[in-house]
Structure 1
Amino acid sequence: MAFFFIADLAAAVHKGKKEVVLSEQSLRDKVKGAWAGQTLGCSYGGPTEFKFLGTIIQDYIPIPWDKHTVKNWYDTFPGLYDDVYVDLTFVEVFERCGLDAPVDSFATAFGRTEYPLWHANQVARYNLLQGVKTPQSGYWKNNPHAHCIDFQIEADFAGIMSPGMPNQAAEICDRVGHIMSYGEGWYGGVYVATMYSLAYVSNDIEYIVKEALKVIPEESDFHKCMSDVIRWHRKYPKDWKRTWFELQNKWSEEISCPEGIHNSFNIGTKINGAYILLGLLYGQGDFTKTIDIATRAGQDSDCNPASAAGILGTMIGYSNIPESWKEALYEVEDIPFSNTDISLNKAYDMTYRHASEMLQKHGNGKVGTDFIIRRENIRPVALEVAFENLKVSDKLTIEKSIDDVNPFSFEGTGLVVKGYVAGGLPTDYTAEMDVYIDGQFYETTALPQYINHRKCELFFCYDRPVGKHTVTFKWKNPVSNGKIWITEVIIYTTK
């Protein structure tokens, strides 16, 4: 019964009808499918996360799964679910402040979190705590990880609460996503949220993937990469591994995330977003195949199947997720996610309410228990380009204290300095380091010891005139036995 109802929705969209009917029961089922799919995909990919870098997880390598897998992750490594608990931070803001919650409410809530974060998220939280407001907290010149996957993995909520309203999903992404991302990093979240939104009103996964891409400017590399996946899928419709190799050949270079420079680690939004599409397109609507392919593409192999399974779970609804997967959720659905008081069951209820309110707020009618969803013409978001005309000219292993490298010389237009404050210092200590470039004061940077408030890199800048420069570091508040230790320096020049 549910399958034929979904098929009717898809037909309505494809025939160009201006309205789609979605019952309360179906809406709730799809909301549940979204959160359940995301949680299941994350759990399945957990054992392989960043263990297969620049390589496929071959079919002969088993990925364990049973009905206790999700509970085991809850108990042993709840930090696995950053895909979900960051989402829920923003869901809670909507619950508390309403659908018109301002940008500052999201930024404040995010800045106050104490759960583990990495990459763009952690730099953004650091920036907020240092007084840098959004959207500057996610802007690439203030955040070397602006192109990382962070917002792509936590934008689900924006699409889940915007059934059949892709432009509203994009607007929510604008409010929230620039807290931690810019350019490609932001586009990944917008695209994922838009696919979630369309998954409410179509059961054709190819339509969802292609139609949602209209929200991304065609000039962007992100659009070009996703378009390549769609094109290669048409060319090699039964061989996802061939498309994977084409992606590796054309789109695997990393120039932004400092941890991905000159190695096989890639947490960039483009390549991982492409792996979401591999799962969706080659999975052909099959829940198991979708999760498995998105996982076996490698790299961020828990986040990618989480996004793919969440989108597919929205399309087919919770009731159509195979029992062999759903049974793993039964013992955790009332357990709050790490560092939140929101469980899956609570997320189902809250987001169903938000989705219902969004439908009515934006002019969609309701007759009895049926929502009448008006079809939207998707509007592309603004073009954003980061790390433009930059290329990595060198990566140096240093392994020295700042006193041993002063002054440091480089030739180019910018650099990223990786390192840390060493010496077994108390967690409430914050080192302060003055930076001088070419003899002129550039900035004072704070280096908190507390891991959740840390700065991911000691220093970075991208805006020097091309040429030879000297950099000097001065520790303003040194402590005995302490050192500010430099591990690597990445040097940028122009193309």
Structure 2
Amino acid sequence: MNMIKRNIIIALLICVGVADLAATVHKGKKGVILSEQSLRDKVKGAWAGQTLGCSYGGPTEFKFLGTIIQDHVPIPWDKHRVKYWYDVFPGLYDDVYVDLTFVEVFEKCGLDAPIDSFATAFKQKEYPLWHANQMSRYNLLQGMKAPESGYWKNNPHAHCIDFQIEADFAGIMSPGMPNQAAEICDRTGHIMSYGEGWYGGVYVAAMYSLAYVSDDVEYIVKEALKVIPEESDFHKCMSDVIRWHKKYPKDWKRTWFELQNKWSEEISCPEGIHNSFNIGTKINGAYILLGLLYGQGDFTKTIDISTRAGQDSDCNPASAAGILGTMIGYSNIPEYWKEALCDVEDIPFSHTYMSLNKAYDITYNHACAMLKKYGNEQIGTDFIIKKKSIKPVALEIAFENLKVGDKLSVEKSIDDVNPFSFEGTGLVVKGYVAGGLPAEYTTEMEVYMDGKLYETTYLPQNNNHRKCELFFCYDRPVGKHTVTFKWKNPVANGKIWITEIITYTEK
């Protein structure tokens, strides 16, 4: 009976234009048939591609800032390269292990797991984190709840790349369902990101989702962008990449230069202010598109171009290769790349119980459950994935009406600068606590603004619990302000050092 029903449905789908697994949704089709074998292959291709892209770009990460990695510069690769990174620097795979933390939560708590479940799991992990992720973990450990932990006034790194590199799981578990992928991103991405930082993850997840139901890279890139509000700078930047690709279809470097000219300015991440370093979501998201569009479905070209665009050059090829790996499936990734996974597929990623082989199986199960939950019919071992209109997520604007006023290199202790003044509406103070302090020690520092206590900030020595900056605020009225720091629990030989002061004014 099932076979009869299946044949009838297939016949009906053929009548509306869906005839085989290669069918895509961009030609007016009503749905796509995805077999169990194909679904498994694509899930596996997603995780494998992400891991391979990250491994390939590892040697170049943030070594080429505001410049292309020229073709004559060799990037080493061999069949033991992935195992090398597993052994020498497992923190390279923050792209993957944060993803897998959220996969673990879904496995434990089900598809409707609330944001608090993800935030709790995230803050308890002791793997290395940076930028928006680390600031979010600090906020959570200090008692702040999500999504406040990722909101830009609580997290100067809210526009950083962090969620863009770890939203893969949301798309991998949502085959052909970009709206559902975006909803998962809402529950997870706002833990550490807001505005552009969140949009990067939503867009990447949507591309993964559509890569299950289309074999056309250009369609995937364009269609997925519908999930992002057109008014946002992130949408405008990605649209520019698409437009420039059409104008310069054979020259990715020309498009790279256009991006550098228009979109490379950084006003949020303190490390990128007046600096060639750029960990912003927009520019790095654009480099993902460079690989996808100019790679033309070729796995090697896709990874290489996203890497040679520079900046976060392990994360960007990881996203590009993961999306392409989903589209073509694991079975179509060249053996030259896949053989490097043989040494590691049963080794758990840092501070997780998840290996690649477990990720393949568990995410496949989650994908099947999502397909069933959202009304995609299963006939035998085949899923019929329905086409639905993509809805844009809500508009979010961070660092609104702010511009960088000044950046001062200081290299003085707080005793040598108290009090100091600044003109503007916002302030970020970078620095650190030093003096051979015990690992369990936490500095307590009061911050006075214009003579009144503004906040008491806590500065743990534990590197995984650290605060990324000594102090920041973005909500002062326009004008001149005086700042004073007071160390509440000083210890012998200890010093609180200030390295940089960044001020913001209104546009």
Pairwise TM-score range, normalised by the shorter structure: over 0.9
| Equivalent position amino acid for 1:378 in 2 | I
5 Å-filtered alignment, 1:354-433, equals 354-433=366-445
Please tell me whether the aligned partners of residues 10 and 204 of structure 1 are also in contact (alpha carbons under 8 angstroms): no
Please tell me whether the aligned partners of residues 176 and 387 of structure 2 are also in contact (alpha carbons under 8 angstroms): yes
Partner of 2:37: 25
> Secondary structure at 1:435's aligned position in 2?
strand
Partner of 1:65: 77
Partner of 1:83: 95
Partner of 2:338: 326
Partner of 2:14: none
Q: How many angstroms apart in 1 are the aligned matches of 2:480 and 2:27?
A: 61
**Identity of matched residues, %:** 87
Is the aligned partner of 1:212 residue 2:224?
A: yes
Q: How many angstroms apart in 2 are the aligned matches of 1:447 and 1:10?
A: 54
Partner of 1:290: 302
Shift of 1:14: 2.4
| Equivalent position amino acid for 2:290 in 1 | L
Q: How many angstroms apart in 2 are the aligned matches of 1:205 and 1:9?
A: 16
Partner of 1:484: 496
Partner of 1:468: 480
Is the aligned partner of 1:454 residue 2:466?
A: yes
Partner of 1:249: 261
Question: Would you say how many aligned residue pairs link Structure 1 and Structure 2?
Answer: 490
Is the aligned partner of 1:161 residue 2:166?
A: no
CA displacement, residues 341-391 of structure 1 (integer Å, 9 cap, x when unaligned) = 110000000000000000001111100010011111100000000001101
Q: How many angstroms apart in 1 are the aligned matches of 2:87 and 2:144?
A: 35
| Equivalent position amino acid for 1:98 in 2 | G
Which of the residues 211, 234, 248 maps onto 1:236?
248
Please tell me whether the aligned partners of residues 427 and 473 of structure 2 are also in contact (alpha carbons under 8 angstroms): yes
Which of the residues 287, 296, 307 maps onto 1:275?
287
Q: How many angstroms apart in 2 are the aligned matches of 1:7 and 1:487?
A: 63
* TM-score, length of structure 1 as denominator length: 0.98
Q: How many angstroms apart in 2 are the aligned matches of 1:307 and 1:372?
A: 26
Please tell me whether the aligned partners of residues 434 and 496 of structure 2 are also in contact (alpha carbons under 8 angstroms): yes
CA displacement, residues 297-320 of structure 1 (integer Å, 9 cap, x when unaligned) = 000000000000000000000000
CA displacement, residues 86-144 of structure 1 (integer Å, 9 cap, x when unaligned) = 10000000000000101100000001010000000000000000011011000000000
> Which runs of no fewer than 5 residues in structure 1 stay unpaired?
1-5
Partner of 1:3: none
CA displacement, residues 420-474 of structure 1 (integer Å, 9 cap, x when unaligned) = 0110100100000001100111000000000000000000000001100000100
Q: How many angstroms apart in 1 are the aligned matches of 2:280 and 2:26?
A: 33
Is the aligned partner of 1:13 residue 2:19?
A: no
Is the aligned partner of 1:223 residue 2:235?
A: yes
> Secondary structure at 2:62's aligned position in 1?
coil
Please tell me whether the aligned partners of residues 20 and 33 of structure 2 are also in contact (alpha carbons under 8 angstroms): no
Is the aligned partner of 1:173 residue 2:155?
A: no
Runs (4+) of structure 1 moved beyond 2 Å? 6-12
Q: How many angstroms apart in 2 are the aligned matches of 1:22 and 1:108?
A: 35
Q: How many angstroms apart in 2 are the aligned matches of 1:429 and 1:195?
A: 44
Please tell me whether the aligned partners of residues 9 and 202 of structure 1 are also in contact (alpha carbons under 8 angstroms): no
Which of the residues 116, 121, 142 maps onto 1:104?
116
Partner of 1:301: 313
Which of the residues 135, 146, 155 maps onto 2:158?
146
Q: How many angstroms apart in 2 are the aligned matches of 1:476 and 1:370?
A: 64
> Secondary structure at 1:345's aligned position in 2?
helix
Is the aligned partner of 1:190 residue 2:190?
A: no
CA displacement, residues 227-252 of structure 1 (integer Å, 9 cap, x when unaligned) = 00000000000000000000000000
Q: How many angstroms apart in 2 are the aligned matches of 1:423 and 1:297?
A: 40
Shift of 1:15: 2.5
Is the aligned partner of 1:40 residue 2:52?
A: yes
Shift of 1:339: 1.3
Please tell me whether the aligned partners of residues 149 and 267 of structure 1 are also in contact (alpha carbons under 8 angstroms): yes
| Equivalent position amino acid for 2:362 in 1 | M
Q: How many angstroms apart in 2 are the aligned matches of 1:425 and 1:414?
A: 31
Please tell me whether the aligned partners of residues 435 and 472 of structure 1 are also in contact (alpha carbons under 8 angstroms): yes
> Secondary structure at 2:318's aligned position in 1?
helix
Partner of 1:55: 67
> Which runs of no fewer than 5 residues in structure 2 stay unpaired?
1-17
| Equivalent position amino acid for 2:219 in 1 | Y
* TM-score, length of structure 2 as denominator length: 0.96
Is the aligned partner of 1:437 residue 2:449?
A: yes
Q: How many angstroms apart in 2 are the aligned matches of 1:102 and 1:18?
A: 32
CA displacement, residues 53-105 of structure 1 (integer Å, 9 cap, x when unaligned) = 00000000010101010011111111100000010000000000000101100
Please tell me whether the aligned partners of residues 23 and 213 of structure 2 are also in contact (alpha carbons under 8 angstroms): no
Q: Compute the RMSD of aligned alpha carbons.
A: 0.9
Q: How many angstroms apart in 2 are the aligned matches of 1:212 and 1:318?
A: 22
| Equivalent position amino acid for 1:341 in 2 | Y
Please tell me whether the aligned partners of residues 415 and 492 of structure 1 are also in contact (alpha carbons under 8 angstroms): yes
Distance 1:12 1:244, change over 3 A: closer
Distance 1:8 1:57, change over 3 A: farther
